[in-house]
Amino acid sequence: MTDRLNLIDTIAKQEKFSTFSKLITSSGANEVLSGPGAFTVFVPTNEAFSKIPTIIMSELLNEPNQTQLKSLLSYHVLSGKVMAANIGSTPTREAFTGEELRFADMNGLKVNGATVLARNIEATNGVVHALDTVLAPSTTTKSVAAAAAASTTGAVPAVVPSAAPSVTGTAIPTTDSVLAPVPTSPSAAAARADIKPIF
């Protein structure tokens, strides 16, 4: 007899994962984790989600059927159970979306440059590791890409199309597949000028 819960319930039980838990339900990404597994899930904390600019979250949440949000969250899932001790042993692994995640074990475990926090939270059908930053697959919308471009100028575009076609090969909103805040004014950009990219 085990007291472990499945991945969906294990994630829902952790207060620091409440945003991810709500989003996988609203987007339907929880279907990915409903199978027998095993799966490895890199779950961004609530603080990680708070780094995402409102303009990007609005785009993801307001899209019909939240297709991009589902893809974004599914990008945090690997088939198979990978414990923390083995994460850095393979430089790349294929995420559930078919795109690659990059791993490193230098100055702490990293996934696409994001830091792995809590580790080896086991569930009946896999394992959960916490991340300090939300990862992003390479497919995004033009409006999200525009927000990414604005991160280099310090200005968020005044007009953002709400249903732009998909663009392949764009990471949001930094040069790597990690979500990060977009400065909203030149002064905000200057205040962040000394912050280095995550990866």
3-21 per-position pLDDT tens digit: 789 999 999 999 999 999 9
DSSP for 20-44, please give it.
HHHHHHHHSGGGGGGSS--EEEEEE
As a whole number of Å, the end-to-end CA separation of the chain is 43
Three-state SS at 166: strand
Residue 94 has pLDDT above 70, yes or no: yes
41-76 per-position pLDDT tens digit: 999 999 999 999 999 999 999 999 999 999 999 999
Residue 139: the pLDDT is 59
All structural domains of the chain with their residue ranges: 7-131, 140-191
Residue 36: the pLDDT is 78
- The model's pTM is 0.71
Residue 40: the pLDDT is 97
The structural architecture, per CATH, of the domain 7-131 is Roll (2.30)
Average model confidence (pLDDT) across the chain: 76
Determine which of 8-12, 30-34, 159-163 has the lowest per-residue pLDDT on average: 159-163
Residue 128 has pLDDT above 70, yes or no: yes
Determine which of 71-75, 186-190, 192-196 has the lowest per-residue pLDDT on average: 192-196
